Amino acid sequence: MATRGHDAADNRAVRSGAPARSSGAETKAAIYSAAVDLFAEKGYAATSIRAIAAAVGIEPASVYNHFSNKEEILYTIILNSTEESIALIEDYVAHAGDSPAERLKAATKAHVIFHCLNHKTAHIGWSDLHSLSPALYKKVALVRDHYEAIFRRELLAGIESGQLVDTNPTLAINGIIGIGSRAAVWFRPDGPMTDAEVGEYYGDFVVRALRK
């Protein structure tokens, strides 16, 4: 299901929302992609609109045809990648059958795979989330609540069915999220394991930790 290649989804994210391939949509996609690279490499605060424009090969003023300001670019990156990860997780869960333990495993696996394949946007979401103004932060927080709610739903179903231990769901979910975030740091696409193998490992790890 997941596209192979590091940060493949980073590019998919902006393309999926773009209209038919006009030059404007291509420029917007190029700005988005350059911002992902620069924010991940230098951090949000150290990256200027001028630097983003230079990476794309356009004038700084042209960036404002597509984004109101630098913060809107950051917001779009964090929102897109969170929503993409949610879509991947729901897709895996939908194909996992009825067993809550299997569904929780599938959700964990997809979460880990997404982070393996999108290490740049994951790093930005982790490091620069606090750079958003309160209004935009609040919007992102709502989508992140939805993210966590998927895991909570499957975990509670597993507790109710008697398959999983009635433990502290909030801590369990934060553990799962932390495992994925860390994978975004250490995973290398040319390493000894594929993203799917890493996802499989942690899916089993989490279910073992929570199975009754």
Q: Is 172 in the site for its own copies (CB under 8 A)?
A: yes
Residue 44 touches its own copies, criterion: CB under 8 A:
yes
Q: Is 4 in the site for its own copies (CB under 8 A)?
A: no
The answer to whether residue 146 forms part of the interface with its own copies (CB under 8 A) is no
Binding mask 58-87 for its own copies (x = CB under 8 A): ------------------------------
Q: Assign 3-state DSSP to the chain and report helix, strand, coil percentages, each to 5.
A: 75, 0, 25
Task: Pick from 54, 126, 153, 159 the residue near its own copies by CB under 8 A.
Answer: 126
DSSP letters for 57-83: TS-HHHHTTT-SSHHHHHHHHHHHHHH
As measured in angstroms, the least distance from the Cβ of 207 to its own copies is 9
Does residue 121 touch its own copies according to CB under 8 A?
Answer: no
The residue within the footprint of its own copies, chosen from 66, 131, 147, 155 (CB under 8 A), is 131
Using the rule CB under 8 A, is 189 a contact of its own copies? no
Residue 34 within binding range of its own copies, rule CB under 8 A? no
CA distances for 87 relative to 67, 111, 116, 134, angstroms: 25, 10, 16, 25
- Tell me the Ramachandran region of residue 5: left when phi exceeds 0, alpha when psi lies from -120 to 50, beta otherwise: left
Task: Assess contact for 93 and 105: CB atoms under 8 A.
Answer: no
CA distance 38 to 87: 26
Cα angle for residues 121, 124, 126 (degrees, 5° grid): 110
Query: Is 199 a binder of its own copies (CB under 8 A)?
Result: no
| Residue 3 binding its own copies, by CB under 8 A | no
What are the residues binding its own copies (CB under 8 A)?
Answer: 41-46, 126-128, 130-131, 167-168, 171-172, 174-175, 177-183, 186, 193, 198, 201-202, 205-206, 208-210
